[in-house]
Structure 1
Amino acid sequence: MNYRHSFHAGNFADLVKHALLLWLVDRRRARGPLTVVDTHAGAGLYDLTGDAVRSREAEAGVARLMASEALPLAIKALAGEVAALNPDGGVRFYPGSPLLVARRLGKGDAYVGFEMNPPVVDLLDQALADWPAANGRAGDGYEALAEATANARGPLVLIDPPFEQADDYQRAADAAAAVVRRDPTATVAIWTPLKDMETFDGFLRRLAQAGAGRVLVAEARLRPLTNPMKMNGCTLVMLNPPDGAEAVAQEVCGWVADTLGDTGARAEVWWA
């Protein structure tokens, strides 16, 4: 599955991922200085009049979010960030995880995001130019993760690969588990598409075999899993999440499934 950030920016999966990411950042910052490491950062900021026009996924995602009046608190926080980037109204610009995190950083906090595509690295640098505590780097985020988290106590790691490579599930599981084995106070969030349960169950087994510890799965399923070639839903899998994550995940995934899903859509949150 080829998952380009720019093509899918602002879709339902971004709403799940980014609403929960903002909550994780806020909860972790309450404990003291925070380091966030993003293994697959992307461009940081997306103009929805570009690639996203062809997919029209933003129309069914963030556009509907911004038109909604009754929002759960975690979803409302994301809507506030989107509104801040569109002061004249509408939804032309959508923030990726690098910019969302950068705007949340305080004194002593830091963000580093890795990206392998050189033109996208340039866009990432532009998006973070006004945020000195946030930096983009060219490189393989999987390979860089150990060094990037070596001196950070209790880091928050986001692993959000494009799933262009056959071994992305394996590398994501192994890298995530290695972080929490090295530092049991770390939290790791892994975004995955949900195409079929066989692939996803294999991913969970890999996490368990790698020694991932406490794993919370937040799933928003928008349609039945009858076509494994389509992204029928998504998950955010959290290793060692903070207290309260289960309730917030249910709130976020429930809103997305109920508001944006087809007949039979559902949200499930469970400990794996």
Structure 2
Amino acid sequence: MNYRHSFHAGNFADLVKHALVLWLVETLQARGPLTVLDTHAGAGLYDLSGDAARSKEAEAGVARLMSAEGRTPLMDALAARVAALNPDGGVRYYPGSPLLIADALAPGGRYLGFELNPPVRELLTQALSDRPNAEGREGDGYAMATAEAARARGPLVLIDPPFEKPDDYIRSAETALAVVRRDPAATVAVWTPLKDLETFDAFTRRLAGKAPVLVAEARLRPLTNPMKMNGCAMVVVNPPPGAEAAAAEICGWVADSLGDPGGRAEVWML
């Protein structure tokens, strides 16, 4: 697989994904210890002075978040996590989902992340080495998360593939539906890029009518160039109460603060 998230770490899409995931973890674990399963975990921690410095996506994302005034509470919560990793100031290090989730879990909570790329899985293991509530495993995250979800009670499943493979949209939808069919108390959050509406609409149609589904879009620019990531979306199956307001706050801030003049946020239930 050619995709390397180290080039994209800390970009606007990470901000949308991670701010909402933090809110989901805090909200869902209020009912008891939470198991979080992450199908495409990545390295867990990113040095933004490396690959990300060349792409400059972090400069347009997390760097602007950290210097922004008047952040909303949920964007402040993410900024606090980033600041904790950079005690000397600046934004050299950015936490991926594994670190953010592991550090947000209450006692009794558990994070299990899957990574198909062996060298990246080794980095994941290193990043989680001092967090006894978290583990990285090598393998197909779709299949392994589905199997693990069957052994958990009311888990949160994060599906965040690179969407390089032609079946990633199909497998993401099938995995989400398999998890909630087996456990109606489970919540599944799927991150997707927004390049063109045809692809995204086909994905959401696979989920429509099967369970409650929240769609939260942050569009940085009009969807006129399908070769560019014009925005991103978080699609949450079985969202907890308050998810619409949380998603609107997050997507609204990202679209308004980081987008072009034509950028906008859209949040609705299928």
**TM bracket (short chain):** over 0.9
**Residue equivalent to 2:116:** 116
Contact map agreement 1:20 1:249 (CA 8 A) in 2? yes
Q: Which runs of 4+ in 1 moved over 6 A?
A: none
Distance 1:193 1:155 in 2: 24
Mapped partners of 2:161, 2:141: distance in 1: 9
Contact 2:150 2:179 in 1 (8 A): no
The amino acid across from 2:112 in the alignment is: V
Q: In the alignment, is the contact (CA less than 8 A) between 2:121 and 2:138 conserved in 1?
A: yes
- For residue 218 of structure 1, report the CA deviation from its aligned partner: 0.6
Tell me what 1:249 maps to. 247
Q: Which residue of 1 aligns with 2:204?
A: 204
Distance in 2 between residues matched to 1:104 and 1:261, nearest whole Å: 28
Question: What is the alpha-carbon distance in structure 1 between the residues aligned to residue 251 and residue 29 of structure 2?
Answer: 23
Query: Could you tell me how far apart the structure 2 residues matched to 1:75 and 1:58 are?
Result: 16
Offset of 1:212 from its aligned partner?
Answer: 3.6
SS at match of 2:91: coil
Q: Which runs of 5+ in 2 are unaligned?
A: none
CA distance in 1, matches of 2:128, 2:168: 26
Q: How does 1:1-272 map to 2 (within 5 A)?
A: 3-208=3-208, 212-272=210-270
* C-alpha contact 1:2 1:162 (8 A) present in aligned 2: no
Q: 1:263: how far off?
A: 1.5
CA RMSD between the two structures? 1.1
| TM-score normalised by the chain length of structure 1 | 0.97
Unaligned runs of 5+ in 1: none
Aligned partners of 1:124 and 1:8: how far apart in 2?
Answer: 17
User: For each residue in 1:130-158, what CA deviation from the matched residue of structure 2 results, as whole angstroms up to 9, or x when unmatched?
Assistant: 10110000000011122211221100000
Aligned residues between the structures: 270
Q: Does the C-alpha gap of structure 1 residues 233 and 2 become closer, same or farther in structure 2, counting only changes over 3 Å?
A: farther
Say if 1:212 and 1:239, in contact at 8 Å, map to a contact too: no
Q: What secondary structure is seen at the aligned counterpart in 2 of 1:82?
A: helix
Percentage of matched positions with identical amino acids: 73
The TM-score, its normalising length taken from structure 2, stands at 0.98
- The 1:258–1:121 alpha-carbon spacing in structure 2 relative to 1, beyond 3 Å, is same
